[in-house]
Structure 1
Amino acid sequence: MTSSGVVTGVHCARGHNFSKSTAMFIDILAGLGVAGDAHAGKTVRHRSRVAVDPDQPNLRQVHLVASELLEELNTQGFDLSPGALGENITTQGIDLIELPRGTVLVIGDVRLSVTGLRNPCVQIENFRPGLLKQMVGKRDDGTPLLRTGIMTTALNSGPVTAGSGIVVQLPPEPHIRLERV
């Protein structure tokens, strides 16, 4: 089964900034992530994960956030623009959080494999007081629901621009629910 959505913005930051600047396009590099982005690499680049084990594989190469989440939070007064949560790709029309692990997102020639959920951290609270509480919810079964977007790995290389379509290719069943990576 496939479904579709659209890229509404692309973002990149060379430094370990909380937010990323909006760009005309981003270049995805197979096995690495976004060219020129601080989080690109075969091994982890997020500082907290490097401190634990710098040799672990980077399952957080490309970060995606739904524009619907930003819109919801903006109605609550948080004033979040695309890229504000540090995402590389802002999307519309896809319930990112509910995708199963192993889903492939096809954006033009680029294929991204969904690895898990981004875990919200204290930086979110420092960025906008009260935002961290909005990023952690509960699923129907009582387990935590992390709403700060999804993480993917780059299966191949190519450019991504705003306005690009996204085709969602679900993995074979049984589906595995996303957990934090």
Structure 2
Amino acid sequence: MNTSSPLWKKRLVLSALAAILPLSAVADGRHSASSLHGRCDGPPPVGNVAMYPHHEMGRPGMHPGMMPHLPFLHRIELSEAQQDKVFDLMTANLPAERAKAKLARKAMDDLRKLGAADAFDPVKARELAAAHSQAMADLLVMRAETEAKVRALLTAEQRSRIDAAERDGGGRCAPSKRS
């Protein structure tokens, strides 16, 4: 093998670049390991990391739909008393939210089975669709109520920082801008 050939050198350089570039993309912070796994790409949490489990969606026991519904909390720093109150508010509704999510999931599964069955019953399909819709509506109302209670705990400055960040659309966790 002729090691002085320019083709051999080009291949060596290209191979080295191919091995190094993915590592540098992860190391520069804009493309963190969490964003490669589909987790929140928002700014890292300040304060108590346990308040922001959506940054750890890959951990055992977390399923789609179980992500905390208050992503704006990672944009501000909470006092310890605020963290405790937010934790209490968010955990108070968890059993009821889980029960509603289970009802919605069961209704959806039953509706899918009904659609795949040999005999389709439109009355039963409407009942299942209504059950699913009601469970989802109840779940959304519970979450909106929790968000309102959490926002009431925040100072005026904290609320204005959240509002400004949501207007600017910072991070993947921000709500989409619709006109």
Give the TM-score taking structure 1 as reference length: 0.24
> Which of structures 1 and 2 has the larger relative contact order (alpha carbons within 8 angstroms, sep 6+)?
1
What is the TM-score when the length of structure 2 is the normalising length? 0.24
* Greater C-alpha radius of gyration: 2
- Larger helix share, 1 or 2: 2
- Structure having the higher strand fraction is 1
